[in-house]
A and B are shown apart, each in its own frame.
Chain A
Amino acid sequence: MRANRPLLEVDRLRVEFPTRRGTLVAVDEISFHIDPGEVLGVVGESGAGKSLTGSAIIGLLEPPGRIAGGRILFDGSRIDDLPYEQMRRIRGKQIGAVFQDPLTSLNPLYSVGRQLIETITTHLDLSEGQARKRAIELLAEVGIPAPERRIDQYPHQFSGGMRQRVVIALALCANPRLIIADEPTTALDVSIQAQIIALLKKLCREHGTAVMLVTHDMGVIAETADRVAVMYAGRIAEIGPARQVIKQPLHPYTVGLMGSIPMVGTDADRLVQIEGAMPRLTEIPPGCAFNPRCPKVFERCRHDRPDLIRVGPASTACWLYDGQAGHD
């Protein structure tokens, strides 16, 4: 038993896309939690269901995608079945979001100040003038020089990195307790990426904000996350403390993923490559979804689907560890 209640608890979440040729299961019964102030990194290839999980949590799955099963609890109460209006009050106020592309996340027709002020006055009981003051403070906090002047400028007058700072200010402006950052640095220059991640990390530590950091950049995870969830084909392959997962990965997929990161100071001639590609949602094989690519595949993997098995501080969905399960 944990002493503290987790801030976010995702319990057997299932996201489906009904199509003409049958229902696609994009997120398949995944469970995880995020503690207050904790940074959970979620990694995986494109299409593994990382972003959809984030969208499902903030209640912004795009139709026809829908939550087909499971529960999402925020601070102990269910939020997956809330009516739109109640969920709207949670979005921005309790759960903020940062999206991938800062160039398209801001409305080009309104000044950044207007966008900040409208978000602040939507959630907090402040006057226009107070909201403006807070907006300037926020811009200063995210490291925008001369915020009193910049506040009245339009998004096109900001560079990509500066816009992502504005987006972060927008996500933080009602002091949410959780931020879902969906690939916040993917669209940025490499030199800017580190700055933005450092900023996000610093602000969240100062504000005590928990973060679900969706990315496919293991470097970002290693630097930022407290725990990591590795997703593959809509399921969690492995979840555990970041250091543990990076240093001693359990699941053969995670092992392959870690092997494909270039490391300075190691003498590997070639990076390890995982053979094949992640299956499409329509062609997920029976058993473990990774079995056609797995170097350690054995008979059971081909027809039994593994659930998360606890191994030390981490958990993994792999039959290799069946029987080694530790007892909580």
Chain B
Amino acid sequence: MTLSRDKAIIGAMEILSELIIIALLSIAGGVIAAMLPFAFPPAVISLFLLLLLLFLGIIKEDGLSSSSSFFLKYMAMFFVPSGVEIIEYADLLSSSWFHIILISAISMLITFFAAAKAVEITERLMQRRKAA
């Protein structure tokens, strides 16, 4: 009885420590972004910081297992409010939906083609180098 309760408490503390790490990294990203001479998304700096700490072994992958599985699994939910906000831009959307769709569609096709061919050319060059 006490054993399972102890386990539950340890589990809860792990989640708290994970949340603290993520919150501190998120804030640190904002601080670093504010000090940069150019505009850069603070969230991407936080991502770099965490990646660095993982590679240096300062933070263990297991040390973030609860929160990472939760956030990664339900990631899209956190962007629902940004999507709902579109109703505030109904006029803009109704006047430019055609351009939005056209630009998105054309650029998507070009991007797909460019990425695929860049990989294939790189692979071919690497093979030729290996053969030579």
| A and B interact | no
